[in-house]
Amino acid sequence: MKAFHFVVLSIVMISLFACSGQPKVIYEEVSPASLKPGDAIPSPSGEVILTVSGNINVKNNGDLLELDLTTLEKFGLVKYDIDDPWAKTTVNYTGVLLSDFLKIVGASPTVENIHIIALDDYEVDITVTEAQKWPVLLATQSNDQYMTVAENGPTRIIFPFGRYSDIETVLYQDLSIWSIKSIEVQ
């Protein structure tokens, strides 16, 4: 009888875990990070594509962290497909997980918000909770091609649309900012 109860309890526990909404890994690692949390990040040798400010510990130009594409991609790259609400088709995006980005720039454990500004001055706020809940990308490539400004690059935020039932396309589509010029960690 005890064995029966153990089996039933085990099945219930497995079922609860499977239905708990825990994020599943939906991405493929393209290249591991060669920059780790706590590493100094060099000044850009190429064109600055992203400026990071705010409550971060890693800086390379006064109170700022300036990044070129090569350095940004040293944060580690992953890729996954989404049901792209703009292209109305499946698109494969490659980039840095926003959660890893926050670790490598030395975001304080008390930060709650990521304020992002595009080249056209469009602004959005993404919570750190959202960045940690799902594999949100700071994408640098679309379908294995680097994105130009004309193609919404050189970086953009990608939510894993079509992969998680709790990602409301209408809400998160508005947060999927492109042609990013700066990020302020708050």
* 57 pLDDT above the threshold of 90: yes
* Residue 58 lies inside a defined structural domain of this protein: yes
The whole-model pTM stands at: 0.85
If one counts every other C-beta atom within 10 angstroms of the C-beta of residue 89, the result is 8
Two tokens at 87?
């292209």
Which residues, 6 or more positions from 163, have their beta carbon under 8 angstroms from its beta carbon?
26, 80, 82, 134
Two tokens at 69?
């594409």
* Residue 7 lies inside a defined structural domain of this protein: no
* Residue 5 lies inside a defined structural domain of this protein: no
**Percent of residues, the chain, with pLDDT higher than 70:** 87
Half-sphere exposure of 35 (CA within 13 A, CB side): 23
* Residue 10 lies inside a defined structural domain of this protein: no
Q: Parallel, antiparallel, or unpaired: how do β-strands 65-67 and 50-54 relate?
A: antiparallel
- Per residue in 77-123, pLDDT (tens digit) is 999 999 988 888 999 999 999 999 999 999 999 999 999 999 999 99
**Percent of residues, the chain, with pLDDT higher than 90:** 76
* Residue 94 lies inside a defined structural domain of this protein: yes
Q: Can you say whether the dihedral through the CA atoms of 30, 32, 34, 36 is positive or negative?
A: positive
**pLDDT-based confidence at residue 10 (cuts at 50, 70, 90):** very low
* Residue 39 φ/ψ, nearest 5 degrees: -75, 145
Two tokens at 95?
């980039």
* Residue 18 lies inside a defined structural domain of this protein: no
Q: What is the CATH number of the domain that holds 96?
A: 3.90.420.10
* Residue 181 lies inside a defined structural domain of this protein: yes
Domain enclosing residue 116, as ranges = 25-185
* Residue 13 lies inside a defined structural domain of this protein: no
Contact of 44 with 64, CB cutoff 8 Å: no
Half-sphere exposure of 6 (CA within 13 A, CB side): 3
Q: Give the number of domains in the chain.
A: 1
